[in-house]
């Protein structure tokens, strides 16, 4: 594929604005509404990795001739340094490493740009441009704030594939979106928290406020899980308004602990909620990666991602020439999300409750956001006998569950 620059972003922007967010624009070259789970990694009986294409795979987008494996280069933008050893960036890079191993790519075929500030559009653009200049055929931009710049550059470079994580924009051609049903794992971790709190005060350090559906949906799924086993428990949320800010995350953790929270969890990038919980002698539930290695005496479980499931399928589709611009939205059934093995010091009955709920989710009997749901303002969302659809979950959860209290 060539790398000719096409200055046509204004036209694309008009399409994006003309198509309401998360409203199902389809796969005709317009913006997709939400991820549609086109491919995922599955484990065969012999332990080998297979790339599976779902029945929803669309042929509406023109497919390419593919790229020889020895010629492909993969770029990735990271918010921080994966060498930190835990958290968001670390987990995404584990996925990149898994993809590299699954597909047999060499180290020089992976181009990493680390510590790229996602609130700095110029820095983001420069990092993407460097990936293109270094010959990358597909570029993964892993943080929410990279979204609009990625969309712009996808229009400027139509012969390069762009894949953005956690956002909602895509063009159905060379630019898609990927995320996962992390709310399923959040729900299970809520059961763990509800079974193990004694103060009935659970702390949650959140990167963004209710305007961000990704964060808020996770909080609500967690709270619904807590309530399913412990209706008396309350979830106290402290918002940092930053995806990565060590000082704010530490301060928020300290404040929640001072309020008497005896289980701490998080949607933020540092491990402060976990390390400070262990120092305080209370429990923690990690996020992104297994945080029991930092906090072995307090970590009940961790909500984790297996990003290699997506990265493998995406790069394989470029190699095969089967990329069709569809979005990806995997979950527990695709082994994209889950929780780690429970600590042996979890309260009696915790594992049984988690196992029961997990089977209900895997079978489709529990969609987490089921029926009529009461918010913390007394309003209700949802309908009896129905589950919130994926478009709503990924982009329209801007309310908190009834047991959630935001710390001002």
Mean pLDDT of 348-359: 98
Q: What pLDDT does residue 269 have?
A: 86
Q: What pLDDT does residue 56 have?
A: 32
Burial of residue 364 (CB within 10 Å: 0-12, 13-18, 19+) is: exposed
Comparing 18-32, 99-113, 293-307, 341-355, which segment has the lowest mean pLDDT?
18-32
- The fraction of the chain above a pLDDT of 70, given in percent, is 84
Tell me the three state secondary structure of residue 123: helix
Angle at 262 between CA 216 and CA 373, to 5 degrees: 35
**Confidence class of residue 85 from pLDDT cuts 50, 70 and 90?**
confident
Q: Give the pLDDT confidence of 309-331 residue by residue, as tens digits.
A: 999 999 999 999 999 999 999 99
Question: Residue 26 pLDDT > 90, yes or no?
Answer: no
How far apart (Å, rounded) are the C-alpha atoms in residues 192 and 195?
Answer: 5
Q: What pLDDT does residue 244 have?
A: 85
**Confidence class of residue 345 from pLDDT cuts 50, 70 and 90?**
very high
Question: Residue 94 pLDDT > 70, yes or no?
Answer: yes
- The CATH code for residues 9-180+308-331 is 3.40.50.2300
Question: Residue 106 pLDDT > 90, yes or no?
Answer: yes
Strand partners of residue 180: 330
Comparing 26-30, 121-125, 148-152, 361-365, which segment has the lowest mean pLDDT?
26-30
Q: Is CATH 3.30.230.70 the right assignment for the domain spanning 182-305+369-406?
A: no
Q: Are 278 and 345 in contact (CB under 8 A)?
A: no
How far apart (Å, rounded) are the C-alpha atoms in residues 383 and 234?
Answer: 24
Q: What pLDDT does residue 12 have?
A: 32
Question: Residue 45 pLDDT > 60, yes or no?
Answer: no
Comparing 47-56, 58-67, 299-308, 311-320, which segment has the lowest mean pLDDT?
47-56
Long-range contacts of 160-166 (CB under 8 A, 24+ apart): 160/1, 160/3, 160/132, 160/136, 161/137, 161/318, 161/323, 162/138, 163/138, 163/139, 163/314, 164/140, 165/92, 165/140, 165/141, 166/142, 166/214
Mean pLDDT of 233-256: 96
How far apart (Å, rounded) are the C-alpha atoms in residues 235 and 203?
Answer: 6
Crossing angle between the packed helical segments 121-133 and 147-156, to the nearest 10 degrees: 40
Mean pLDDT of 173-184: 96
Mean pLDDT of 214-229: 97
Q: What pLDDT does residue 64 have?
A: 64
CATH 3.40.50.2300 residue ranges in the chain?
9-180+308-331, 182-305+369-406
Q: What pLDDT does residue 312 have?
A: 96
Question: Residue 122 pLDDT > 80, yes or no?
Answer: yes
Percent helix, percent strand, percent coil in the chain, to nearest 5:
35, 20, 45
Report the side by side order of strands in the sheet with 328-330: 110-113, 74-77, 138-141, 161-165, 175-180, 328-330
Helix H or strand E encompassing 358 = helix 350-363
**Confidence class of residue 363 from pLDDT cuts 50, 70 and 90?**
very high
Question: Residue 367 pLDDT > 70, yes or no?
Answer: yes
DSSP conformational letter for 375: B
Question: Residue 249 pLDDT > 90, yes or no?
Answer: yes
**Confidence class of residue 87 from pLDDT cuts 50, 70 and 90?**
confident
Q: What is the pTM of this model?
A: 0.79
Q: What is the mean pLDDT of the chain?
A: 86
> Looking at per-residue confidence, does 376 or 34 come out higher?
376
Q: What pLDDT does residue 63 have?
A: 53
Mean pLDDT of 96-111: 98
Torsion angles phi and psi, residue 331, rounded to 5 = -150, -150
């Amino acid at each position: 594929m060539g790398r000719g620059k096409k200055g046509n972003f204004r036209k694309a922007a008009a399409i994006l604005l003309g198509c309401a967010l998360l409203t199902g624009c389809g796969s005709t070259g317009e913006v997709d509404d939400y991820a549609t789970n086109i491919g995922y990694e599955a484990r065969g009986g012999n332990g080998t990795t297979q790339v599976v294409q779902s029945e929803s795979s669309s042929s509406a987008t023109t497919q390419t001739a593919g790229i020889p494996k020895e010629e492909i280069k993969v770029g990735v933008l990271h918010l921080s340094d994966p060498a930190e050893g835990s958290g968001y960036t670390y987990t995404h890079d584990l996925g990149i490493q898994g993809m590299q191993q699954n597909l047999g790519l060499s180290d020089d075929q992976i181009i990493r740009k680390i510590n790229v500030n996602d609130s700095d559009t110029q820095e983001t653009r420069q990092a993407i441009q460097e990936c293109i200049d270094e010959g990358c055929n597909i570029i993964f931009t892993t943080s929410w704030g990279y979204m609009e710049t990625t969309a712009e550059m996808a229009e400027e470079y139509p012969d390069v594939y762009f894949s953005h994580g956690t956002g909602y924009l895509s063009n159905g051609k060379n630019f898609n979106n990927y995320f996962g049903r992390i709310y399923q794992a959040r729900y299970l971790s809520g059961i763990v928290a509800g079974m193990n709190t004694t103060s009935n005060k659970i702390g949650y350090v959140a990167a963004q406020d209710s305007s961000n559906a990704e964060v808020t949906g996770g909080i609500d799924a967690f709270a619904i899980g807590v309530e399913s086993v412990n209706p008396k428990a309350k979830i106290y949320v402290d918002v940092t308004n930053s995806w990565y800010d060590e000082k704010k995350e530490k301060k928020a953790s300290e404040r929640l602990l001072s309020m008497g929270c005896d289980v701490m969890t998080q949607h933020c990038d540092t491990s402060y909620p976990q390390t400070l919980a262990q120092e305080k002698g209370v429990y923690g539930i990690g996020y992104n990666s297994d945080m029991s290695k930092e906090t072995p005496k307090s970590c009940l479980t961790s909500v984790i991602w297996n990003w290699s499931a997506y990265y493998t399928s995406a790069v394989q589709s470029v190699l095969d020439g089967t990329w069709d611009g569809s979005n990806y939205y995997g979950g527990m059934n695709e082994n994209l999300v889950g929780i780690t093995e429970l600590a042996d010091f979890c309260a009696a009955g915790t594992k049984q409750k988690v196992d029961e709920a997990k089977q209900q989710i895997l079978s489709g009997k529990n969609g987490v956001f089921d029926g009529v749901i009461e918010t913390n303002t007394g309003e209700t969302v949802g309908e009896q006998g129905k589950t919130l659809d994926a478009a709503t979950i990924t982009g329209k959860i801007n309310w908190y569950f009834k047991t959630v209290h935001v710390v001002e």
